[in-house]
Amino acid sequence: MTEQAHWWQRGIIYQVYPRSFMDRNGDGVGDLAGVTSRLEYLEWLGVDAIWLSPFFPSPMADFGYDVSNYVDVHPLFGTLGDFDRLVAEAHRRALKVIVDFVPNHTSDEHPWFQESRSSRDSPRRDWYIWRDPAPNGGPPNNWLAIFGGSAWQSDTTTGQYYYHAFLPRQPDLNWRLPEVRDAMYDVLRFWLDRGADGFRLDAVWYLFEDEQLRDNPPNPDYRPGDDPYHALLAAFTSDLPEMQEVMAEMRAVLDGYDERVMIGEIYLPIERLVAYYGVNGNGCHLPANFQLILQPWDAAHIGAVVDRYEAALPDGAWPNWVLGNHDKPRVASRIGPAQARVAAVLLLTLRGTPTMYQGDEIGMHDVEIPPDRAQDPIERHVPGLGLGRDPERTPMQWDSGPQAGFTDGTPWLPLADDAARVNVAAERDDPRSILTLYRRLIALRRAEPALQVGCYVPVPVEGNLLGYRRELDGSEFLVALNLGDIEQEFAPRQPDLRGPIELSTHLDRTGETVDGSFRLRAHEAVVVRLK
């Protein structure tokens, strides 16, 4: 398995949010040259691939997820030359580069949309989704936008409405049109030819909407005060079967190149998520699995979801786990700093490709953003519900200097108040830091094929504890994790588990031999070498 395994199965993916990673030109916004200047750190950390959130020309209504030109670099982030240098330097260090591809929608400033909206007869009219108003002049149906309000925007030029799953400034492309598909597949080829090692497909389960425009049904579980988008079930606006064909076509484009990876952003229940592996594996290599973000953090929920996921995987499908991203509260804030260390052990020892989010490895937490500094469009469209994503997008903390070493200018979002203490330079050589824990876990995973590609065998235990074994070719590890804040006895029914602790969240136990049942302190996790 080890030799045949692809890099994206063995490796670890690290998400870079370029706006907030490293600023080299002093404008307070990170850039591609900044990413290149920090590749040495990523190599030192031991990850295998970076996924870059969008760096394309964009009016930045949704911070780059509103693309106005798919085949260039926004001047804020640099130039195509900077991208080429980044790729060359990354490849020199054996790091892969994954590009964010935003297929569902463009910016309203994209020339395709400008042309489409200019007249009903425009040759590009059907590139987007235009419909007449309802008889009362209102939107064509009840569909809601994820970022608030109706998903239909009326356009006075032609008296029709256009559909937008997200912001009105993010009109949806019409993927039923072959010309749209061809143009978008050309975009994939453009970046593949430039050396991109794959794509993360943004919001890919939203690509199609019901052709008959049937109303979405009410959500019976909706409670007042919830995100208004969830008042309806997205039955006719997401996860439609047409998706399969497009995914297979995208995959065929990637398969024309060597060893490229296709990752899908898909927030769906496990049983639907796995459909995005495609038919006989002709879809995404890695439909992103967000269960570690979405489940309540206790052993019952996490244990059950790992088992459910493992059971649902189609034949030959490779699992993956995501602990954080630029859209969700940071793990250290969700479950607390002590459990964030346990989560690191879990992420890096489960079976499946791990995806980490920049800054989680140093224990960054959400930063409260004063209302007058809010940047995220969600916060401005649907204020007061805590939906804003700025708190998890604050600048990476590199050192204890001014602006945490992120910029010489004024950062676009404020820095965390503990940046002088929580940063790469301060944690690099501190044996107790979460950064050291991450680095050691990554090194162990890299050194041990059983942890990369070995099979996963649950070890049932009582209490708020998780246990499992990973094994391959006679080498075997036990992972034991305490997801609670009290000491508990790890007492597996299987009595013969014995061996030295190879790595632990609490340094003092490394080398200790455990035999049968043993104590795990609050927030403690250990990796034991069994064979």
Q: Which residues bind ligand GLC (CB under 6 A)?
A: 62, 65, 102, 166, 202-203, 265, 326-327
Q: To the nearest whole angstrom, how small is the minimum distance from the Cβ of residue 86 to ligand GLC?
A: 21
Neighbours of 26 (CB within 10 A): 11
32/266 with CB nearer ligand GLC: 266
CA distance 182 to 204: 17
**Which residue lies nearer to ligand GLC by CB, 84 or 327?**
327
Active site residue 202: yes
Cα gap 72→69, rounded to integer Å? 6
Strand order from edge to edge, sheet including 198-201: 286-287, 261-264, 198-201, 96-101, 49-52, 13-16, 353-357, 320-322
* 360 tagged catalytic: no
Q: How far apart are CA 165 and CA 146, in angstroms?
A: 6
C-alpha span between 431 and 453 (Å, rounded): 28
Instruction: Name the residue nearer to ligand GLC (CB basis): 103 or 354.
Output: 103
Q: What angle do CA 114, 237, 273 make, to 5 degrees?
A: 115
Q: How deeply is 3 buried, as exposed, middle or buried, from its count of CB atoms within 10 A (0-12, 13-18, 19+)?
A: exposed
487-510 b/e (C-beta count within 10 Å ≥ 16 → b):
ebebebeeeebebebbbbbbeebe
Catalytic residue among 48, 209, 265, 366: 265
Classify residue 125 by its DSSP letter.
Answer: G
Task: Indicate which residue of 48, 202, 361, 476 is catalytic.
Answer: 202
Q: How far is the CB of 291 from ligand GLC (least distance, A)?
A: 17
Q: How many CA atoms lie within 13 A of 247 on its CB side?
A: 34
Q: How far apart, in Å, do the first and last CA atoms of the chain sit?
A: 18
CA distance 487 to 466: 13
Give the shortest CB-190-to-ligand GLC separation in angstroms.
Answer: 20
Among 420, 392, 391, smallest CA distance to 405 is for 420
For the chain, the C-alpha Rg in angstroms (whole number) is: 23
Is the distance from CB of 481 to CB of 502 less than 8 angstroms? no
Strand-strand pairing, 488-490 and 513-515: unpaired
Q: Is 164 helix (H, G, I), strand (E, B) or coil?
A: coil
Which residues, including other chains, have CB under 8 Å from residue 428's CB and lie 6 or more apart? 435, 436
Active site residues: 202, 265
